[in-house]
């Protein structure tokens, strides 16, 4: 693929902008400067730098973000900074077939929820990970206002009715992990689902953190607000059920 097309496909701007970056000497490929926008490179395993920043070629981008509290998952947030401001520019403007829209969050977490959020520009991946039909388990660590008791855990596992939906929703797994803490696994993602389920059993969420999706655990060394690429092993782990 031509170098200007490589940069374009990775979100570095229009082809004209990409050609300019290359001609001005801002791009290196496999460690060597390249000033020819038409130079051809195989994209498999390709790494290049733009203005000194290392960049791996990725046909589709798959990342995980450790969402911090006080951020909104919307591109057009109403009150808090958007999670998209935590990503570098090229990831926010990767071209798809029909538009320039960059990576999208796989589902949403509330403003005050922290933890594991997947992001991608692969529409079928986003659908597979977020559709309730695929039953991908998502694990939440919940801090509660009142002590957790066995009756609450039993009701969460059995199923509770949420205000607008006559069909009860049940946790796939639920265990108390402390006096004011429980771990809840859900395979759907209804609006404010954890908070509403906890309220339905007479308790209240004081803190919410998503620690795992499928077999993929939020890395302990990834600080809140930081992101990283998903590797082949991470993508395989997402297909596994949680233990």
Contact 238, 129 (CB under 8 A): yes
- Choose between 82 and 193: whose C-beta lies nearer to ligand URA: 193
Nearest alpha carbon to residue 84 among 63, 98, 57, 99? 63
Q: What is the DSSP letter of 161?
A: E
Measured at the CA of 139, the angle between CA 150 and CA 84, to 5 degrees, comes to: 140
Restricting to residues 40-79, name those near ligand URA by CB under 6 A: none
Which residues is 56 bridged to in the sheet? 47
Catalytic (active site) residue 234: no
Which residues is 182 bridged to in the sheet? 142, 176
Q: What is the DSSP letter of 242?
A: P
- Choose between 19 and 200: whose C-beta lies nearer to ligand URA: 200
Given the residues 110, 112, 122, 149, the one annotated as active site: 110
194 binds ligand URA (CB under 6 A): yes
Region of 39-47, 58-66, 108-116, 155-163 interacting with ligand URA (CB under 6 A): 108-116
Three-class SS state of 240: coil
- Choose between 26 and 192: whose C-beta lies nearer to ligand URA: 192
Write down the least CB distance from residue 180 to ligand URA, Å: 17
Backbone angles phi and psi of 86, in degrees to 5: -85, -5
130 binds ligand URA (CB under 6 A): no
- Contacting ligand URA (CB under 6 A), which of 2, 104, 185, 193? 193
Active site residues: 110
Give the interface with ligand URA as residue ranges (CB under 6 A): 109-110, 113, 192-195, 208
């Amino acid at each position: 693929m031509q170098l200007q097309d490589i940069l374009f496909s990775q979100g570095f701007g229009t082809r004209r902008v990409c050609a300019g970056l290359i001609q001005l000497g801002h791009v290196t490929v496999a460690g060597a400067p390249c000033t020819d926008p038409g130079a051809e490179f195989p994209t498999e395993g390709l790494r290049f730098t733009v203005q000194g920043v290392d960049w791996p070629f990725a046909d589709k981008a798959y990342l995980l973000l450790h969402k911090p509290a006080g951020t909104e998952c919307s591109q057009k947030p109403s009150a808090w900074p958007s999670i998209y401001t935590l990503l570098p520019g090229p990831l926010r403007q990767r071209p798809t077939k029909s538009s320039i829209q960059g990576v999208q969050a796989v589902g949403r977490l509330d403003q005050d929820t922290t933890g594991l959020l997947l992001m991608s520009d692969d529409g079928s991946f986003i659908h597979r990970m977020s559709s309730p039909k695929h039953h991908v388990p998502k694990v939440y660590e919940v801090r509660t206002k009142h002590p957790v008791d066995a009756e609450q855990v039993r009701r969460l596992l059995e199923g509770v009715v949420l205000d607008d939906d006559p069909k009860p929703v049940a946790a796939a797994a639920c265990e108390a992990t402390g006096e004011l803490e429980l771990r809840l696994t859900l395979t759907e993602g209804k609006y404010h689902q954890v908070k509403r389920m906890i309220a339905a059993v007479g308790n209240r969420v004081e803190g919410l953190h998503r620690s795992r999706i499928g077999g993929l655990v939020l890395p302990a060394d990834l600080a809140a607000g930081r992101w990283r690429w998903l590797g082949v092993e991470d993508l395989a782990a997402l297909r596994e059920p949680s233990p």
